[in-house]
Chain A
Amino acid sequence: GAVVSQHPSWVICKSGTSVKIECRSLDFQATTMFWYRQFPKQSLMLMATSNEGSKATYEQGVEKDKFLINHASLTLSTLTVTSAHPEDSSFYICSATSGGALETQYFGPGTRLLVL
């Protein structure tokens, strides 16, 4: 089946630093990628949708200047958390689809971010 990877798996950083998380589709071309964050035992909260070669669409309440998303190729999207603060500590999950938003999404394993 389709595989999506994320890197890094874990990241611990100091408050005020920026952290980049990569999401890769390993065996298919992902025209659309989604970024979610998840708090323990809660639903995934969609942060943004990115289509290759165009600007990401952010959900209401998500600061686009703080969470920079780049979908430069059909196999790679990056999420950069700029000037991270402790409240940004969370589990960030990406998913990818070879079609649009209504197509099957393949999820990555997640990246745990801890901001000290």
Chain B
Amino acid sequence: GQNIDQPTEMTATEGAIVQINCTYQTSGFNGLFWYQQHAGEAPTFLSYNVLDGLEEKGRFSSFLSRSKGYSYLLLKELQMKDSASYLCAVMDSNYQLIWGAGTKLIIKP
């Protein structure tokens, strides 16, 4: 079967760095997405990785290793507004999105 695993919840301190991991097993691979979702709002696109390596975009970076079925989202200089759920999703060979359950990130002062 297809599945995406990511931690249910993580806690970090304002100003620190946090890494949210995502491992996947899917039938085919057409890219991996990271989204941020605040409670009651639509998910916001953060990144898309289809090739191995690190993609940096401001305070957020996303890494992909296709051979390991692994990705992580790295958030630097954490701010209170980064408290949200972070969703990992993989697009399979049929261009369907397989979703992780999301990681709730709690930022403490």
A and B physically associate:
yes
A interface with B by C-beta (< 8 Å): 1-2, 9-10, 34, 36, 41-46, 93, 101-102, 104-107, 109-110, 112
User: B78-98 CB contact bits vs A (8 Å, 1 = yes)?
Assistant: 000000010101000011111
Chain B interface helix/strand/loop/mixed: strand
Say yes or no: A43-B45 contact (C-beta < 8 A), given A107-B89, A109-B98. yes
Determine the chain A residues whose CB is within 8 A of the CB of B42 once the complex forms: 34, 36, 43-46
What residue of chain A has the Cβ atom nearest to residue B42's Cβ?
A46
Stretch of B14-22, B33-41, B56-64, B67-75 contacting A (4+ beta carbons < 8 Å): B33-41
Chain A interface helix/strand/loop/mixed: loop
Number of B residues, CB within 8 Å of A: 20
Determine the chain B residues whose CB is within 8 A of the CB of A45 once the complex forms: 42
B interface with A by C-beta (< 8 Å): 35, 37, 39-40, 42-45, 48, 85, 87, 89, 94-99, 101-102
Given contacts A44-B42, A106-B101, A107-B87, 16 further A-B pairs with CB under 8 A are A2-B101, A9-B96, A10-B94, A42-B45, A43-B35, A44-B45, A45-B42, A101-B39, A101-B40, A104-B85, A104-B101, A104-B102, A105-B37, A107-B89, A109-B99, A110-B96
